[in-house]
Amino acid sequence: MKKIAVIGLACVDIVASPVNDYPEMGSIFPTDSIKQFVGGNAANSSIDFCRLGVGKDISLCCHLGDDPLGHFVIQELKNHGVDTQYAAMDPSVDTTVSIVYINTQVNDRYAVLCPSSAYAFRSADIPAQMIDESDIVFVTGHMMLGKFDYECNEFLKACQEKGKFTVLDVMWDLQGKWMEKIEKALPYIDLFMPSYDECRYMTGTEDIREMLRVFREKGSKDIVIKWGKRGVVIAKYGEEPYIITPCENVEVLDTVGAGDAFCTGTLTGLAMGKDLEEAAKLGSAVSAYCIQGAGTYSGVRSLEETVAFLKDHPTQKLPLE
Protein backbone atom coordinates (compact mmCIF):
# COMPACT_ATOMS: atom_id res chain seq x y z
CA MET A 1 0.00 0.00 0.00
CA LYS A 2 1.22 3.52 -0.75
CA LYS A 3 2.39 5.68 2.15
CA ILE A 4 0.42 8.71 3.31
CA ALA A 5 1.69 11.86 5.08
CA VAL A 6 -1.17 13.34 7.13
CA ILE A 7 -0.59 17.03 7.83
CA GLY A 8 -2.70 19.56 9.67
CA LEU A 9 -4.97 20.11 12.61
CA ALA A 10 -4.75 18.26 15.92
CA CYS A 11 -6.55 19.42 19.03
CA VAL A 12 -8.62 18.31 22.01
CA ASP A 13 -12.37 17.91 21.54
CA ILE A 14 -14.42 18.18 24.68
CA VAL A 15 -17.72 16.66 23.64
CA ALA A 16 -20.89 17.43 25.62
CA SER A 17 -24.07 15.52 24.96
CA PRO A 18 -26.98 16.09 24.85
CA VAL A 19 -27.14 19.85 24.51
CA ASN A 20 -30.43 20.73 22.91
CA ASP A 21 -30.99 24.17 24.45
CA TYR A 22 -28.89 27.07 25.66
CA PRO A 23 -28.79 27.10 29.48
CA GLU A 24 -30.41 30.06 31.26
CA MET A 25 -28.27 32.86 32.65
CA GLY A 26 -26.84 31.96 36.04
CA SER A 27 -28.05 28.37 35.80
CA ILE A 28 -26.34 25.03 35.97
CA PHE A 29 -27.84 22.60 33.47
CA PRO A 30 -27.10 18.88 33.81
CA THR A 31 -26.09 16.88 30.73
CA ASP A 32 -25.35 13.18 30.31
CA SER A 33 -21.72 13.18 29.34
CA ILE A 34 -18.76 15.45 28.92
CA LYS A 35 -15.78 13.53 27.63
CA GLN A 36 -12.44 14.43 26.17
CA PHE A 37 -11.23 13.07 22.85
CA VAL A 38 -8.43 13.81 20.50
CA GLY A 39 -9.83 16.03 17.75
CA GLY A 40 -8.81 17.92 14.66
CA ASN A 41 -8.98 16.57 11.12
CA ALA A 42 -5.39 15.35 10.89
CA ALA A 43 -5.48 13.63 14.28
CA ASN A 44 -8.90 12.08 13.60
CA SER A 45 -7.79 10.77 10.23
CA SER A 46 -4.58 9.35 11.66
CA ILE A 47 -6.49 7.46 14.32
CA ASP A 48 -9.00 6.28 11.71
CA PHE A 49 -6.14 4.90 9.57
CA CYS A 50 -4.85 3.00 12.60
CA ARG A 51 -8.27 1.63 13.47
CA LEU A 52 -8.60 0.43 9.88
CA GLY A 53 -5.33 -1.40 10.37
CA VAL A 54 -3.14 0.58 8.01
CA GLY A 55 -1.49 2.80 10.63
CA LYS A 56 2.02 1.68 9.73
CA ASP A 57 1.60 3.26 6.30
CA ILE A 58 0.89 6.76 7.63
CA SER A 59 2.64 9.47 9.62
CA LEU A 60 1.26 12.63 11.21
CA CYS A 61 2.54 16.19 11.32
CA CYS A 62 0.74 18.73 13.51
CA HIS A 63 1.39 21.59 15.96
CA LEU A 64 0.43 21.31 19.63
CA GLY A 65 1.09 23.23 22.82
CA ASP A 66 3.62 21.80 25.27
CA ASP A 67 0.96 21.52 27.98
CA PRO A 68 -1.16 18.79 29.67
CA LEU A 69 -3.69 18.84 26.80
CA GLY A 70 -0.92 18.55 24.22
CA HIS A 71 0.56 15.61 26.11
CA PHE A 72 -2.88 14.02 26.26
CA VAL A 73 -3.18 14.27 22.46
CA ILE A 74 0.25 12.72 21.90
CA GLN A 75 -0.44 9.92 24.35
CA GLU A 76 -3.82 9.11 22.80
CA LEU A 77 -2.31 9.15 19.32
CA LYS A 78 0.42 6.77 20.49
CA ASN A 79 -2.16 4.55 22.21
CA HIS A 80 -3.86 4.17 18.84
CA GLY A 81 -0.60 3.35 17.08
CA VAL A 82 -0.04 6.65 15.30
CA ASP A 83 3.58 7.57 14.55
CA THR A 84 3.95 10.92 16.36
CA GLN A 85 7.60 11.67 15.63
CA TYR A 86 6.64 14.64 13.47
CA ALA A 87 4.13 16.15 15.94
CA ALA A 88 5.56 19.44 17.21
CA MET A 89 5.08 20.52 20.85
CA ASP A 90 5.41 24.27 21.18
CA PRO A 91 5.70 25.80 24.69
CA SER A 92 4.76 29.25 23.41
CA VAL A 93 1.16 28.32 22.58
CA ASP A 94 -1.79 26.54 24.22
CA THR A 95 -3.07 23.34 22.63
CA THR A 96 -6.12 24.05 20.52
CA VAL A 97 -9.36 23.09 22.25
CA SER A 98 -12.74 22.64 20.69
CA ILE A 99 -15.92 22.19 22.71
CA VAL A 100 -18.49 20.28 20.72
CA TYR A 101 -22.14 20.36 21.75
CA ILE A 102 -24.15 17.47 20.35
CA ASN A 103 -27.80 18.24 19.70
CA THR A 104 -29.46 14.85 19.94
CA GLN A 105 -32.86 16.12 18.83
CA VAL A 106 -31.63 16.97 15.35
CA ASN A 107 -28.53 14.78 15.39
CA ASP A 108 -26.17 17.62 14.68
CA ARG A 109 -23.56 19.65 16.47
CA TYR A 110 -22.20 23.08 17.25
CA ALA A 111 -18.67 23.83 18.34
CA VAL A 112 -16.72 26.59 19.95
CA LEU A 113 -13.02 26.61 19.31
CA CYS A 114 -9.98 28.40 20.66
CA PRO A 115 -7.31 28.17 17.92
CA SER A 116 -3.98 28.75 19.73
CA SER A 117 -1.54 26.07 18.56
CA ALA A 118 -3.39 25.49 15.28
CA TYR A 119 -2.73 29.04 14.15
CA ALA A 120 0.98 28.55 14.88
CA PHE A 121 1.39 25.88 12.20
CA ARG A 122 4.06 26.60 9.59
CA SER A 123 5.53 24.91 6.49
CA ALA A 124 8.74 24.66 8.45
CA ASP A 125 6.97 22.21 10.79
CA ILE A 126 6.84 19.65 7.97
CA PRO A 127 10.11 17.74 7.73
CA ALA A 128 11.37 17.02 4.20
CA GLN A 129 11.98 13.44 5.30
CA MET A 130 8.30 12.92 6.01
CA ILE A 131 7.40 14.00 2.46
CA ASP A 132 10.20 11.99 0.85
CA GLU A 133 8.99 8.83 2.62
CA SER A 134 5.40 9.29 1.42
CA ASP A 135 3.56 8.81 -1.86
CA ILE A 136 0.37 10.68 -0.93
CA VAL A 137 0.44 14.03 0.89
CA PHE A 138 -2.85 14.74 2.70
CA VAL A 139 -3.27 18.26 4.13
CA THR A 140 -6.36 18.39 6.30
CA GLY A 141 -7.77 21.17 8.45
CA HIS A 142 -6.82 23.89 5.99
CA MET A 143 -8.42 27.26 7.00
CA MET A 144 -7.35 26.60 10.58
CA LEU A 145 -3.59 26.45 10.04
CA GLY A 146 -2.47 30.04 10.45
CA LYS A 147 0.13 31.21 7.99
CA PHE A 148 0.39 27.75 6.48
CA ASP A 149 -3.04 28.27 4.91
CA TYR A 150 -1.39 30.86 2.68
CA GLU A 151 1.91 28.96 2.24
CA CYS A 152 0.10 25.81 1.22
CA ASN A 153 0.27 26.47 -2.53
CA GLU A 154 4.08 26.53 -2.51
CA PHE A 155 4.22 23.46 -0.31
CA LEU A 156 1.86 21.41 -2.47
CA LYS A 157 3.57 22.54 -5.68
CA ALA A 158 6.87 21.27 -4.29
CA CYS A 159 5.21 17.96 -3.35
CA GLN A 160 3.82 17.53 -6.85
CA GLU A 161 7.25 18.27 -8.33
CA LYS A 162 8.58 15.41 -6.21
CA GLY A 163 5.95 13.16 -7.79
CA LYS A 164 3.62 13.05 -4.78
CA PHE A 165 -0.19 12.82 -5.07
CA THR A 166 -1.66 15.78 -3.17
CA VAL A 167 -4.98 15.74 -1.34
CA LEU A 168 -6.57 18.53 0.70
CA ASP A 169 -9.59 18.88 3.01
CA VAL A 170 -10.67 22.13 4.67
CA MET A 171 -11.99 23.05 8.11
CA TRP A 172 -14.33 25.85 9.13
CA ASP A 173 -12.76 29.27 8.54
CA LEU A 174 -13.22 31.18 11.81
CA GLN A 175 -11.80 34.25 10.11
CA GLY A 176 -14.34 34.12 7.28
CA LYS A 177 -11.85 34.56 4.44
CA TRP A 178 -12.42 31.19 2.73
CA MET A 179 -11.52 31.42 -0.99
CA GLU A 180 -8.84 34.02 -0.31
CA LYS A 181 -6.98 31.44 1.78
CA ILE A 182 -7.18 28.58 -0.70
CA GLU A 183 -7.40 29.84 -4.27
CA LYS A 184 -3.64 29.86 -4.90
CA ALA A 185 -3.39 26.26 -3.71
CA LEU A 186 -6.22 24.83 -5.84
CA PRO A 187 -4.12 24.18 -8.98
CA TYR A 188 -1.70 22.08 -6.91
CA ILE A 189 -4.31 19.84 -5.28
CA ASP A 190 -4.74 16.56 -7.19
CA LEU A 191 -7.80 15.62 -5.12
CA PHE A 192 -9.83 18.30 -3.31
CA MET A 193 -12.29 16.93 -0.69
CA PRO A 194 -14.28 19.75 0.96
CA SER A 195 -17.75 19.56 2.56
CA TYR A 196 -20.82 21.12 1.01
CA ASP A 197 -21.18 23.88 3.66
CA GLU A 198 -17.54 24.85 3.30
CA CYS A 199 -18.01 24.97 -0.49
CA ARG A 200 -20.94 27.35 -0.05
CA TYR A 201 -18.67 29.77 1.75
CA MET A 202 -15.74 29.31 -0.61
CA THR A 203 -17.75 29.78 -3.80
CA GLY A 204 -20.72 31.87 -2.69
CA THR A 205 -23.23 29.53 -4.34
CA GLU A 206 -25.48 26.67 -3.18
CA ASP A 207 -25.54 24.94 -6.55
CA ILE A 208 -23.13 22.02 -6.86
CA ARG A 209 -22.41 22.42 -10.57
CA GLU A 210 -21.72 26.10 -10.04
CA MET A 211 -19.37 25.22 -7.15
CA LEU A 212 -17.48 22.81 -9.38
CA ARG A 213 -17.27 25.43 -12.12
CA VAL A 214 -15.79 28.00 -9.74
CA PHE A 215 -13.19 25.54 -8.45
CA ARG A 216 -12.25 24.41 -11.97
CA GLU A 217 -11.85 27.99 -13.05
CA LYS A 218 -9.25 28.38 -10.31
CA GLY A 219 -7.39 25.28 -11.45
CA SER A 220 -8.86 22.39 -9.44
CA LYS A 221 -8.42 18.86 -10.74
CA ASP A 222 -10.44 16.02 -9.14
CA ILE A 223 -13.01 17.11 -6.60
CA VAL A 224 -15.13 15.16 -4.11
CA ILE A 225 -17.75 17.20 -2.27
CA LYS A 226 -18.96 15.63 0.97
CA TRP A 227 -22.70 16.22 1.20
CA GLY A 228 -23.71 14.82 4.60
CA LYS A 229 -26.87 12.71 4.46
CA ARG A 230 -26.92 12.94 0.68
CA GLY A 231 -23.59 11.20 0.26
CA VAL A 232 -20.73 12.53 -1.85
CA VAL A 233 -20.39 14.16 -5.27
CA ILE A 234 -17.57 12.67 -7.30
CA ALA A 235 -16.28 15.08 -9.94
CA LYS A 236 -13.30 13.68 -11.78
CA TYR A 237 -11.58 16.19 -14.02
CA GLY A 238 -13.05 16.05 -17.50
CA GLU A 239 -15.86 13.67 -16.54
CA GLU A 240 -19.55 14.05 -15.68
CA PRO A 241 -20.03 14.34 -11.89
CA TYR A 242 -22.18 11.79 -10.05
CA ILE A 243 -23.38 11.02 -6.54
CA ILE A 244 -22.43 8.09 -4.33
CA THR A 245 -25.12 7.77 -1.67
CA PRO A 246 -24.29 6.85 1.93
CA CYS A 247 -24.40 3.19 2.98
CA GLU A 248 -28.01 2.16 3.48
CA ASN A 249 -29.63 1.23 6.82
CA VAL A 250 -27.18 2.88 9.20
CA GLU A 251 -28.27 3.93 12.70
CA VAL A 252 -26.71 7.30 13.51
CA LEU A 253 -25.33 7.90 17.01
CA ASP A 254 -23.27 10.99 16.29
CA THR A 255 -21.92 12.47 13.08
CA VAL A 256 -18.81 14.14 14.51
CA GLY A 257 -15.79 13.08 12.44
CA ALA A 258 -17.77 11.55 9.58
CA GLY A 259 -16.03 13.69 7.00
CA ASP A 260 -12.56 12.78 8.26
CA ALA A 261 -13.55 9.11 8.27
CA PHE A 262 -14.73 9.39 4.69
CA CYS A 263 -11.43 10.98 3.62
CA THR A 264 -9.45 8.30 5.42
CA GLY A 265 -11.39 5.49 3.78
CA THR A 266 -11.12 7.07 0.34
CA LEU A 267 -7.38 7.60 0.68
CA THR A 268 -6.93 4.04 1.91
CA GLY A 269 -8.73 2.85 -1.20
CA LEU A 270 -6.56 4.99 -3.47
CA ALA A 271 -3.40 3.87 -1.66
CA MET A 272 -4.45 0.27 -2.26
CA GLY A 273 -4.77 0.97 -5.99
CA LYS A 274 -8.54 1.38 -6.31
CA ASP A 275 -10.05 3.92 -8.69
CA LEU A 276 -11.77 6.98 -7.22
CA GLU A 277 -15.29 5.53 -7.40
CA GLU A 278 -14.36 2.33 -5.56
CA ALA A 279 -12.23 4.27 -3.11
CA ALA A 280 -15.15 6.61 -2.35
CA LYS A 281 -17.42 3.62 -1.63
CA LEU A 282 -14.88 2.40 0.88
CA GLY A 283 -14.77 5.92 2.30
CA SER A 284 -18.55 5.85 2.69
CA ALA A 285 -18.36 2.61 4.63
CA VAL A 286 -15.70 3.95 6.99
CA SER A 287 -17.87 7.00 7.52
CA ALA A 288 -20.90 4.79 8.17
CA TYR A 289 -19.02 3.02 10.96
CA CYS A 290 -17.80 6.33 12.35
CA ILE A 291 -21.29 7.74 12.85
CA GLN A 292 -22.41 4.67 14.75
CA GLY A 293 -19.90 5.43 17.50
CA ALA A 294 -19.53 8.35 19.89
CA GLY A 295 -16.88 10.94 19.14
CA THR A 296 -14.82 11.21 15.99
CA TYR A 297 -13.08 7.84 15.79
CA SER A 298 -14.44 5.27 18.23
CA GLY A 299 -16.90 3.81 15.69
CA VAL A 300 -14.29 3.06 13.04
CA ARG A 301 -13.42 -0.62 12.60
CA SER A 302 -10.91 -2.76 10.72
CA LEU A 303 -10.61 -2.78 6.97
CA GLU A 304 -11.94 -6.35 6.75
CA GLU A 305 -15.03 -5.51 8.79
CA THR A 306 -15.55 -2.34 6.76
CA VAL A 307 -15.36 -4.15 3.42
CA ALA A 308 -17.89 -6.70 4.70
CA PHE A 309 -20.13 -3.90 5.94
CA LEU A 310 -20.04 -2.26 2.52
CA LYS A 311 -21.24 -5.52 0.93
CA ASP A 312 -24.21 -5.69 3.34
CA HIS A 313 -24.98 -1.97 3.25
CA PRO A 314 -24.24 -0.91 -0.31
CA THR A 315 -24.08 2.62 -1.69
CA GLN A 316 -25.81 3.71 -4.89
CA LYS A 317 -24.46 5.62 -7.84
CA LEU A 318 -26.86 8.37 -8.93
CA PRO A 319 -26.67 11.12 -11.51
CA LEU A 320 -26.19 14.67 -10.26
CA GLU A 321 -29.31 16.69 -11.06
Partner 1 sequence: MKKIACVGMTAIDVITTPVTGLPPLNTVYHVDKIRMFVGGCAANAALDLAKLGLPARLSCRLGDDIFGQFVMGELTKHGVNTQSVTLDPQVDSAVTIVCLDPVEKERRCLTTSESNDNFDTEDISDEILAESDIIFMAGMCQLKKFDGKHCGEFVKKAHDLGKFVAMDVMWDFEGVWMPKVADALPYLDLFMPSYDEVVQIIGETEPEKMVEKLHALGPKNVVVKLGKQGAIVKEGDDGPYYVPIFPCDPEDIVDVIGAGDSSCAGTLAGLATGMNLHDAVAFGQAVASYCIRAQGTYNGIRPMEEILDAMKKVK
The reply on whether position 257 binds partner 1 by CB under 8 A is: no
The reply on whether position 158 binds partner 1 by CB under 8 A is: no
Show the binding pattern over residues 58-87: x = contacts partner 1 (CB under 8 A), - = does not: ----------xx--x---------------
- With respect to partner 1, which residue has the nearer C-beta, 31 or 316? 31
The reply on whether position 110 binds partner 1 by CB under 8 A is: yes
The reply on whether position 252 binds partner 1 by CB under 8 A is: no
Give the span between the Cα atoms of 190 and 223, in whole angstroms. 8
Candidates 44, 17, 37; CA nearest to 267 is 44
Question: Within 162-275, where are the H helices?
Answer: 179-182, 196-203, 208-217, 258-271
The reply on whether position 103 binds partner 1 by CB under 8 A is: yes
* Out of 29, 91, 251, 319, the residue judged to bind partner 1 by CB under 8 A: 29
* Out of 24, 161, 240, 321, the residue judged to bind partner 1 by CB under 8 A: 24
HEC string of 261-285 equals HHHHHHHHHHHCCCCHHHHHHHHHH
Q: How far is the CB of 33 from partner 1 (least distance, A)?
A: 6
Across the strands, what pairs with 232? 226, 244
The reply on whether position 307 binds partner 1 by CB under 8 A is: no
Q: How far is the CB of 220 from partner 1 (least distance, A)?
A: 24
Q: Find the part of the chain contacting partner 1 (CB under 8 A) among 11-19, 85-93, 271-279, 287-295.
A: 11-19
Give the span between the Cα atoms of 153 and 150, in whole angstroms. 7
Candidates 164, 101, 89; CA nearest to 125 is 89
Cis peptide before 18 (omega within 30 of 0): yes
Cβ contacts of 55 within 8 Å, gap of 6 or more = 46, 49, 80, 81, 82, 83
The reply on whether position 229 binds partner 1 by CB under 8 A is: no
Binding site for partner 1 (CB under 8 A): 12, 14, 16, 19, 22-36, 68-69, 72, 97-99, 101, 103, 106, 108-115, 171-172, 174, 197
